[in-house]
Amino acid sequence: MIVWINGAFSAGKTSAARELLDLIPNSTLYDPEVIGAGLDLLLPQKRLAEIGDFQDLPIWRRLVVDTAAALLAEVGGVLVVPMTLLRQEYRDEIFGGLAARRIPVRHVLLAPDETILRERISNREEFGCDPERSESVRRWAYEHIDPYRAARDWITADAYVVDNSASGPRETARLIAEAIGSGAAAACEIVQTPEPTAETLAAGVLLFDEQDRVLLVDPTYKPGWEFPGGVVEAGEAPARAGMREVAEEIGITLERVPSLLVVDWEPPAPPGYGGLRLLFDGGRLDSAGAGQILLPGSELRGWRFVTEEEAERLLPPTRFERLRWALRARERGTVLNLEAGVPVG
């Protein structure tokens, strides 16, 4: 299990985490900042200059998950993780990766009053650092108050909130331990999708509204929007798999078997294995049909109909290319064969 302590910079996460080790048996402190420090030494300066925060590095987010899994395999018990996460898509990627490894996460937010938070920042001194370094850290913390304030809505909807305005580290740790023990800080309800161990066959279904906009869904367990669909199970017909996924994901029962639009071979890109990706035309949903959409909260947080231009901003590039060619195939009444998103043959 992981106890992930979130909050603004200087909210008291690390000091509370250290105290929590005495209150949760067989617990280990795991600070993902050490991964960022390691990447400072490993990555070329040119790559580091392209990002403003090590959290923006996909390799950091992957290593946070992989290291947590390796640590738990080595020491067992509970990992206590004091780490600020303000971008929801990064939370999705990290917590989704942990869920795929069957590692439950108890998400806790330390939420002192902003006046108290600013006072703590102003009094912050970096151990072993010169005044210039301490001032730099304080400035960084002040600059991230607004992003923290903007992220509070999604964090408080997901995490157990502890107001530690008047609590020191020991008392804060006691409040967290009580919430964990009582179940008040429950495991995050994020879908647990096992990572593939070989190439996979996946089927997605495109559904359209009366304006020919396409339906996209927003998964909780990975970054970026997606089409309804999923992995085809052993012995299952791909089109039927798409129909099953549509029913499971958005509560819509398709009355006819959808027609194939594209077959796309996705090459392996470690740590992914790639495989075949099929997109089907599921037809139109009128306003009454769209009104019946029902999302499983543990897997999808939202849906919307979008134009092709809007889809380009929401979808990862590989998915958008797949969609783009699927729309061309639909216009032409044909099926297209793609390799890595590029038509062949």
Does residue 194 carry a pLDDT above 70?
Answer: no
pLDDT band at 228 (very low <50, low <70, confident <90, very high): very high
Does residue 293 carry a pLDDT above 90?
Answer: no
Distance of CA 204 to the CA centre of its chain: 20
- 7-25: per-residue pLDDT in tens? 988 899 999 999 999 999 9
Which residues, including other chains, have CB under 8 Å from residue 314's CB and lie 6 or more apart?
A: 216, 224, 225, 306
pLDDT band at 234 (very low <50, low <70, confident <90, very high): confident
Could you tell me the end-to-end alpha-carbon distance of the chain, in angstroms, rounded to an integer?
49
Q: What's the rounded Cα separation, in Å, for the pair 319 and 175? A: 43
Predicted TM-score of the model (pTM):
0.67
Does residue 139 carry a pLDDT above 60?
Answer: yes
Contact 303, 213 (CB under 8 A): no
pLDDT band at 290 (very low <50, low <70, confident <90, very high): confident
Q: What is residue 218's predicted lDDT score, i.e. its pLDDT?
A: 87
Q: What's the rounded Cα separation, in Å, for the pair 10 and 142? A: 9
DSSP string computed for 270-316: TT---EEEEEEEEEE--HHHHTT----TTTEEEEEEE-HHHHHHHS-
Contact 162, 110 (CB under 8 A): yes
- 152-186: per-residue pLDDT in tens? 988 988 899 999 999 999 999 999 999 999 999 99
- 22-54: per-residue pLDDT in tens? 999 999 999 999 999 999 999 999 998 988 889
Q: What's the rounded Cα separation, in Å, for the pair 324 and 214? A: 11
